[in-house]
Structure 1
Amino acid sequence: MDKENFTYSFSLIEADVWKFAEVEKVIYGNKFVPTPEGGSICKRTSIYHIKGDGEINKDKIKDGYGKKTEGLLKAVEAYFMANPDA
């Protein structure tokens, strides 16, 4: 976590959430960028590390994982709306 630059990252390893590929781990990076209106935009990156010669299906990531990400961002937004000094 880098509070000065409004960024944080984390890794997810050995999880049974990727039914579509042999994923070793995923590293997520998040950066909050202020907007001129006083709000912020969250920019998120995901780096997938695949086991062996496995392949990843980008369409399945967008379809399945995109919905989970949207839910997470809504929870984060609700937290910040309830805790504006956080």
Structure 2
Amino acid sequence: MLFLLTLVTGTSSKHTVDDIDASNFILSWTFFEGDALMSIINTATNHMKFIPSPNGGSVFKKIFVIRYKGDAKQMDDVINITKEATKNTFKKMESYVIAHPEVY
């Protein structure tokens, strides 16, 4: 499955879904083209797993694999931007789910 993501900021990226395992709450996808790759990243793959917690919520675990172009080196900025974007995305998702429990 291929999809194009365009953000409010005007940036866009192309993604492909690598794996969806609904019974184990696993999702993996790769983005391979777009502004978010900052011209130094070849691909960035997200592996996400949701684990039910004893209090009725869930624990979110994410592995983010970055493959840089050529001899480009890992940048702390890339990691910090990724962490912040993930945190903001999940806060927005949580707010939506809380406001619309009938959808889920």
Q: Tell me the TM-score normalized by structure 1.
A: 0.82
Letter in 2 for 1:15: G
Kept in 1: contact 2:48–2:62 (CA 8 A) = yes
Q: Residue in 1 aligned with 2:90?
A: 73
Shift of 1:79: 3.6
Distance 1:79 1:5 in 2: 23
> Which structure dedicates a bigger proportion of its chain to strand?
2
Per-residue displacement from partner, 1:14-60 (whole Å, max 9, x unpaired)? 121244x6100100011001110010011111000111111111x21
Candidates 67, 81, 86, aligned match of 1:49 = 67
Q: Residue in 1 aligned with 2:21?
A: 2
Distance 2:80 2:22 in 1: 31
Root mean square deviation of aligned Cα:
1.9
Percent identity for Structure 1 against Structure 2: 26
Indicate the SS of the match to 2:35: coil
Instruction: Determine whether 1:64 maps to 2:84.
Output: no
Candidates 36, 40, 52, aligned match of 2:58 = 40
Indicate the SS of the match to 1:52: coil
Unpaired segments of 5 or more residues in structure 1? Answer: none
Distance 1:60 1:40 in 2: 28
Structure 1's 84 and 28: CA in aligned 2 closer, same or farther, altered over 3 A? farther
Letter in 2 for 1:39: G
More relative contact order in 1 or in 2 (CA 8 Å, sep 6+)?
1
Shift of 1:62: 3.4
